[in-house]
Each structure stands twice: as C-alpha cells, then as structure tokens.
Structure 1
Amino acid sequence: MKRNIQVLLLLFTGVGLLHISLLTDLYLRYVRPGLRPALIASGVLLIVLGAVSAARDGFPFNRPRTDHDHGHGGHQGGGHQGHGHDHSQGPRIAWLLYVPALTILFLAPPALGSYTAARDEAKAKAPTAGDSLFPALPQSGIVELSLNDFSSRAVWDTDGTLRGHTVRLTGFVTPGRHGTWYVSRLAISCCAADATVRKVRVHGATPPPADAWVTVTGTWHPTGKVGTDDASPALDATTVKRVPAPKDPYNDAVATRPGR
C-alpha cells in the first residue's frame, strides 16, 4: 500500500503541475510568469519518475507475494518470526497526501485576495535618490495608473503631480473598518508566499462585494502630510465599474497613458 501511495502521488502531482502550467494559466495565481518553464519541467519529471516506479513494480501495483516475500522467519527461531510481517503496509493517514495533489488537478485554489490584503499593512514605496522627481502626468484625459505608482505619488510626491488629474485604478475590493473600503493589489517577487500589499482607500462610492475586481475612476484625496509616513493613498471616486479578474492578478504594471 505504501508503495502505491508513492507512485500515484508522483503521477497525480506531475499531472497537476502540467495542468496548471502547460494547459492553463492557473499557475499565475501562485508564482511569477517566469517560473512557468520550471513548473513544466517539474511536472514532466514527476510523471517520468512515477511511470518508472510503476513499471518497475509491475501492474497491478500489489504483486502477488512469494515465499521469499514472507521473510526469513519461516525457517528460523521464533524470535525472528516477526520478519514475516508485511512491511509494505503504510499508515492510513498517508492517503491524505493525495488531497493537495488532487486539489491542484481538479480544484485549483484562487489567488490571494481581500483576506490577505485586509490583514497586511500596505507600504508605499519611497523614492530612491534617482526617483526623487516623479514624471509629470498627461495634461488631458483619464490617466491610468498602477496602484503602486499612485500610492508612491500620493505619499511621497511633494510636487503634487496627482493634483488636478483624473486617474483610473484597477484592483480587487478589500473591506475596511466602519464601512470603509479599498481597491487593492498584491505584488509578488517569486511566489504568493512573499506577497506584499498595495491598497488605496476609496471615498464617495458604495463598495462592491469583497474580492470583486473593479476599475475606479476619480481624483486624488490628500490624506496626511505628503512626504512623510503620515500620508496615505486615497481616491475620491466618480465611477466604480466591475471588471473581470485578470489572468495575472499580481501584475500591477500599467503604462502611464491617457485613458479612453
């Protein structure tokens, strides 16, 4: 039984990895796009290892036991009769190892969302010496910004380049305290385990359901003293529109350009 678990677990896990990385884009819920080749290679390797193990053991997996399989206890003293015990029997709890493998294959968990964003404190990236001056925004039209860019400008841009501009932000809804809510994004360096939060408080609009993806259009709402940690990113919303979730939920990169 224990051998069966090992072989099938390799096969299921390998098929699951290929399912989310080769046949679909589900892997983007967990890792950066650049790791796709590594996931595909890992899936192929696990399937090959499982197939080799299965072929070595023969089919069906539980081979008929021979006299040799009964151990050496049959012709030795009673003190060694324990050698006839079937050591292939593993703990029944080992079957639980199938749960994560089958989950990846049939029910891929969603990307991180409002639960994570609500429990982590967002920190706007402070400009380095080379980034001390934020580029000017287009003079006309709605400017589409990433949450990271908007947050950095709202907190650290003492020149006030956001002032007088209508901007558009896209992210998922994160409920806050006392009826407040945020449009949020999560950024990752490698995988979902190292996710960091970007969120902007939205004023003047009724919040959609938690985790709903939205595009919020509005103007900068100054909060706190810009250039210090007292400032926080906020937006006075004019419109809130539901949008489909992106394939890559962690990619917040947006070219600064006038919106349509």
Structure 2
Amino acid sequence: MNRIAQGLVLVLLGAAALSSTVVSDLYLNYVQAYFRPFLAASGAVLVLLGVWVVVAEVRAAARTHGDHGPIPSEDDAHDHCNAPGVSWLLLAPVVAVFVIAPPALGSFTASQSSSPEPTAPRADSDDSGRYDDALAETDPATPAKLELQEFVLRAWTDEEREMAGRPIELTGFVVPNEQGEGWYLARLQMACCAADAVVNRVLITNTEAPEKDSWWTVRGTWVEPEGELQSVRDHRFSVDTMTEVDNPPDPYE
C-alpha cells in the first residue's frame, strides 16, 4: 500500500463515519446518540488528513519529475512508501458500513445476554426520582407508556405496586422463549455501545408468538407474582391488544 492508497483509505474511513452520523442515523445501531458529534468530527478529520496525504504525495511526485531528479527504483519506493499488507484490513469497517451495514442487535443477542437485576434503593435514600412520571401523569383508565427498562425496575423495586391493575403500553421486539412457554417482548439497554448491551424483557403467555425480531406495541397489564421473584425472567405481562410497528431509529433504551 503506497502513500496515495493510504490517503484514500483514510478518506474512505472518514466518509464511512460521516455517512453513518451526518447523512443517516446508522450509528444508533452501535453507540449511544451522544457520540454523534464525536464520530462526525473524527470522520471529518480523517477525510481532511487523507486528502492532505494524497495531495502532498502528488505534489512531491510532481516536483521530483519537474526537477528531472533520479527516478527511484522499485525497491526504494517499496521501502519508503509502502505500508505493511495487513494495513488493508483498515478497509474492513468501510465494507461493513457501505456494503453489509450490520443491523442493530436483536433476538439472538437478547436470548444470550444477561438481564440486569435492579437494585432497590436504600431505606434512608431519597427515591423520589427513581421512575419517570409516565405512570403518575397518566389517567388510571388510559394506558401508561413505559419503557421496558422502567417496567422491569418498577416490578422489582416498587413496594407500593403502583402498576397493579393499571393498563400499560410497552414497545419492543419479539424473542422466542426456547426454554418454555410463551415469548418475550424485549428491548436492549446500553450504557455506551452495543458491546455492553443488556436485555430488559417481559414474558407473554396469553397470545401466540409473532415473527421473531418483529417490533410490536402491546397494551395490557402486569401479572403480579404470587411469591418472591427469583430472576428478571419471571416478569409477566398479559396482553389485551397488539399492534405491529416499524423498527425505531434508535432501537436501544
């Protein structure tokens, strides 16, 4: 790989970063939204650096020929201009973005990932900000729109059981339950990037499982556990109505 090729690779890498952040929302499949300005800035720097490398190399070649200096041998050019062959692997991210465009994590990851177990606040702590206000601000007769993360947190830690008997609306994708009855409505939660994603899910047993990885908005009620929960897999939801929806631009919570 000579210097001009190196510069072009940098341009392609920068263009991949820019196309995923400025032109589209593809970056949301891999990282949190707050990374957008950093990725866009990195892409711009890579493009400018690549262009500078190409222009500098072309000008250097033009000066050499203009001065009628000695033309370097192939061995000299190889020693001074070429990078190791392994550097071509830098094109892999470009191919992944422009050709493959890997989708967001889905049912396979959700079935393999661990589920976080929310920790109840200490008795002496101020827990007034533990939840969003969606449940409190919604009329008891109207379905409250909750994220699966909040639903799981409430099911674990809300000693007042405010969700009991309340109509609730959840949105997520379908994960088959390979180990038993029913299916899971799930949503992946990530702190930074897709590599640290964990799953929030509820088990649904009163309806047939839709197609795997399809997205649905379900309305129904929380099935209160009869005894103490042993794991987050025990959360159950009774569905009254279901509506298939398009994949959201940001699939993570």
Q: How high is the TM-score relative to the length of structure 1?
A: 0.80
Task: Classify 1:100/1:219 alpha carbon distance in 2 versus 1 (closer, same or farther; 3 Å).
Answer: same
Which residue pairs with 2:192 in the alignment? Answer: 190
1:115 aligns with 2:108: yes
How far 1:48 sits from its partner (Å)? 0.3
**DSSP 3-state at the match of 2:105:** coil
User: Which letter maps to 1:131?
Assistant: D
Q: Distance in 2 between matches of 1:84 and 1:24?
A: 44
1:172 touches 1:211 (CA, 8 Å); kept in 2?
A: yes
**What is the CA–CA distance in structure 2 between the aligned matches of 1:35 and 1:84, rounded to whole Å?**
43
Taking the TM superposition and a 5 Å limit, the aligned residue runs for 1:36-185 are: 36-58=36-58, 67=70, 69-70=72-73, 86-87=78-79, 88-89=81-82, 92=85, 94-128=87-121, 129-131=125-127, 137=136, 138-177=139-178, 178-185=180-187
SS at 2:7's partner residue?
helix
Q: Which moved more, 1:41-50 or 1:150-159?
A: 150-159
Q: CA deviation at 1:167?
A: 0.9
1:199 is aligned to 201
- The offset of 1:170, in angstroms, is 0.2
Q: How much has 1:230 moved relative to structure 2?
A: 4.8
Separation in 2, partners of 1:16, 1:224: 52
Contact 2:32 2:193 in 1 (8 A): yes
Name the amino acid aligned to 1:97.
Answer: L
Aligned amino acid, residue 100 of structure 1: P
User: Equivalent residue for 1:24?
Assistant: 24
Residue 67 of structure 1, CA deviation: 4.1
d(CA) in 1 for partners of 2:216, 2:98: 29
Q: Does 1:215 align with 2:207?
A: no
Q: CA RMSD in A?
A: 3.0
8 Å contact from structure 1 (residues 183, 200) kept in 2: yes
Displacement, 1:123?
Answer: 2.2
Contact 2:14 2:45 in 1 (8 A): yes
Q: Is the 8 A contact 2:4 2:57 kept in 1?
A: no
Q: Which moved more, 1:104-113 or 1:206-215?
A: 104-113
- Structure 1 vs Structure 2: percent identity of aligned residues? 33
Shift of 1:96: 3.8
Alignment-mate amino acid for residue 141 of structure 2: S
Contact 2:172 2:186 in 1 (8 A): yes
Q: Structure 1 residues 107, 145: closer, same or farther in 2, change over 3 A? A: same
- Secondary structure of residue in 2 paired with 1:208: coil
| Structure 1 residues 124 and 140: alpha-carbon distance in aligned structure 2, compared to 1, 3 A threshold | farther
Q: Alignment partner of 2:250: what SS?
A: coil
Cα distance change on mapping 1:245 and 1:89 into 2, 3 Å: same
- Can you give the 5+ residue segments of structure 2 that lack an aligned partner in the other structure? none
Partner of 2:7: 7
* Aligned-residue offset at 1:160: 1.9
Name the aligned partner's letter for residue 102 of structure 2.
P
> What is the CA–CA distance in structure 2 between the aligned matches of 1:2 and 1:221, rounded to whole Å?
64
Distance 1:109 1:170, change over 3 A: same
The answer to which of 128-137 and 15-24 deviates more is: 128-137
Residue type at the aligned position of 1:26: L
**Deviation per CA, 1:172-197, whole angstroms, max 9, x where unpaired?**
11112235311111112222122221
Aligned length: 239
CA contact (8 A) 2:17 2:43 kept: yes
Q: Which has the larger radius of gyration?
A: 1
CA distance in 2, matches of 1:52, 1:246: 39
Structure 1: runs of 5+ lacking an equivalent? 72-82, 252-260
